Amino acid sequence: MFGKRSPQRAEATDRNSIRARVSVHLAAPLAESQALRDRIADAVVPLTSEVISDAGRRLPASDAVFALFPEPEALTRLAEAVREQRAARGDGWPVLIVGLSPDRLTEFGGWLADAAPADLVQGLRLIVERDPERIVAQLPGRLEAVVEPNVIAMPVSTEVDNREYKYFYCLSPELRGLLAHLQELAENNISRIYLLGGPGAGKTSLAYYYFLARTRGNFVTVNLTAEATDDKAAMKSLLCGHVSGAFPGAGSRTGAFSHARDGVCFLDESHGVSGSVMEVLMEALDSNQYLPYGASAKRPLDCAVVFASNRSWDTLIASVNMDEHARLGAMILHLPDLAVRREDLIAVLATTLDGMRRRATTWVAPAGLSQAAWQAIGDCPWRGNTRALIRVIETAFVTAASRRAPLIERDAVDEAMAIWEPETHASHALYTSGGR
């Protein structure tokens, strides 16, 4: 027996038919604390059987593995064992729950950056607290199965051939649920989607995941606000292409719709669509066919179209013609903000710290954040989402490293937030707030 159960907890287990097996790995010297072991047993007993064992050299068959403050090498061994058991079972078990201290997040970021390409993040759940008791208290909320993907591997440039990948972490239940829904939309040939999410929330990554789920064609991105022009011929050429001789000196051009083929045409920043841009879109979307500029015959619109905007739904509705909106015919999906996706926030923060550490030459990287700095990160609404968090951490890292500080302190985070994530700004009212 790993730890002792209180009589009340034992009765709760007897009343429940749920039986789960939890293996526990405690870093030294925590492994010597019987009080902590008993506390873990008390926390998980309502959802587990009595079999709670230490994770030793070989991980026993488990439904969940809890690693508290693990060293990277030990965490790798556990992740490999979890991956093996998940592959054999195919039911979303076991999950790997990792309890981390904020003052060691740089080290964990290095582990995560190496683990993602090696497919070692399957079923990963994260908790960050300095106090082990507070980590243990959150265990019951992390024990459910993880059946959805929890990381999206995408090329650094989605439209240029390259072998360098970046990883979009989807560890939080809120985001994993959205991935599952996108998978179903792709499998059932839903070809119009409107993604609403704050700036920097990850709309491009989700559109790319939808493209991967379709398993065909190309992924083509068009920023409608950046490309917007009153020249209808230019917009028609961009989206629909043009034939040779369409205008003086013109060769043929493959437009975004044709280049996507059976894949996905991702129309970003679509809240600014009006005038000639909307005219071209309406011609194509209303009839599922389009006419390249200068051509005499229409072509079928074979690709899926994903729109994206960082504006709130109220802002969009107030500015759109409802007839035009109906012609878009898109499923509307809301991307949750980073502030409510705590586990994704942890992953972004840790890998950003590690990225800065890898680039540093003369600086000694801070090992992580002080408790006060971590509290400030957790309390922030993150209206700029992932993009703002990365800028804040990069700036705070430079401040701490320049001071030769072992940790990023609260004042460095506050100063960085004043630049990249201000409390008040005129744009806050425009942006969508998914779940904040």
pLDDT 10s digits, 402-428: 999 999 999 999 999 999 999 887 666
* Per-residue tokens: 327: 């012609």
Residue 228's pLDDT is 66
Here the CATH number for the domain that contains residue 386 is: 1.10.8.60
Residue 287 included in any domain = yes
Here the CATH number for the domain that contains residue 21 is: 3.40.50.2300
Assign residue 149 a region (left: φ > 0; alpha: ψ between -120 and 50; beta: otherwise): beta
pLDDT at 280 over 90: no
Kindly give the interhelix angle for 410-420 and 371-379, rounded to the nearest 10 degrees. Answer: 30
Instruction: Write out the H or E segment, with its range, that includes residue 265.
Output: strand 264-268
C-alpha–C-alpha distance, residues 312 and 31, integer Å? 49
Residue 434 included in any domain = no
Percent residues over pLDDT 90 in the chain: 59
Residue 265's pLDDT is 96
pTM, 2 dp: 0.88
- Are 362 and 311 members of one domain? no
Beta strands in 172-243 (DSSP E): 192-196, 219-223, 241-242
- Are 29 and 176 members of one domain? no
C-alpha–C-alpha distance, residues 151 and 159, integer Å? 20
Tokens 């008993």 appear where? Answer: 38
| Under 8 Å between Cβ of 301 and 258 | no
Residue 190's pLDDT is 94
Task: Give how many domains the chain has, as a whole number.
Answer: 3
φ, ψ of residue 192 to 5 degrees: the values are -130, 120
Residue 418 included in any domain = yes
Tokens 């999410």 appear where? Answer: 197
Task: Average the pLDDT over 122-133 and give the result.
Answer: 97
Residue 163 included in any domain = no
Instruction: Write out pLDDT tens, residues 243-266.
Output: 776 666 667 788 899 999 899 999
Instruction: Write out pLDDT tens, residues 314-369.
Output: 777 777 777 777 777 779 999 999 999 999 999 999 999 999 999 999 999 999 99
C-alpha–C-alpha distance, residues 133 and 136, integer Å? 5
C-alpha–C-alpha distance, residues 182 and 264, integer Å? 13
pLDDT at 10 over 50: no
- Selected residue with higher pLDDT from 372 and 6: 372
Residue 1 included in any domain = no
Residue 307 included in any domain = yes
Domain region containing 356: 338-429
| Under 8 Å between Cβ of 201 and 310 | yes
B/e letters for 61-93, b = 16+ CB within 10 Å, e = fewer, are: ebbbbbbbbbeeeebbbbbebbbebbeeeeeeb
* Per-residue tokens: 28: 């030294």
- Are 98 and 229 members of one domain? no
- Are 115 and 244 members of one domain? no
Domain end point (choices 319, 334, 349): 334
Name which of 73-87, 112-126, 201-215, 289-303 the model is least confident about: 289-303
Q: Which amino acid is at 366?
A: P
Here the CATH number for the domain that contains residue 250 is: 3.40.50.300
* Per-residue tokens: 291: 């006419």
| Under 8 Å between Cβ of 377 and 417 | no
- Are 179 and 280 members of one domain? yes
Confidence of residue 2 (pLDDT cuts 50, 70, 90): very low
- Are 185 and 212 members of one domain? yes
Cβ neighbors of 20 (< 8 A, separation 6 or more) are 47, 48, 49, 63, 64, 143
* Per-residue tokens: 49: 């059987």
* Per-residue tokens: 408: 């990023």
Residue 5's pLDDT is 38
- Are 232 and 354 members of one domain? no
C-alpha–C-alpha distance, residues 125 and 96, integer Å? 6
Residue 202 included in any domain = yes
Confidence of residue 297 (pLDDT cuts 50, 70, 90): confident
- Are 186 and 279 members of one domain? yes
Candidates 264, 265, 257, 323; CA nearest to 291 is 257
Residue 153 included in any domain = no
Candidates 154, 193, 202; CA nearest to 175 is 202
- Are 107 and 127 members of one domain? yes
* Per-residue tokens: 376: 């400030």
- Are 349 and 408 members of one domain? yes
Instruction: Write out the H or E segment, with its range, that includes residue 411.
Output: helix 410-420
C-alpha–C-alpha distance, residues 411 and 396, integer Å? 9
- Are 326 and 182 members of one domain? yes
Confidence of residue 18 (pLDDT cuts 50, 70, 90): very low
DSSP letter string, 47-81: GS-S-EEE--SSPPS-SEEEEES--HHHHHHHHHH
Instruction: Write out pLDDT tens, residues 20-78.
Output: 788 888 887 887 888 888 888 888 865 544 334 454 567 888 899 999 999 999 999 99
- Are 276 and 189 members of one domain? yes
Residue 89's pLDDT is 95
Instruction: Write out pLDDT tens, residues 136-160.
Output: 999 999 999 999 999 999 888 776 6
* Per-residue tokens: 338: 């980073």
C-alpha–C-alpha distance, residues 234 and 279, integer Å? 12
C-alpha–C-alpha distance, residues 26 and 54, integer Å? 8
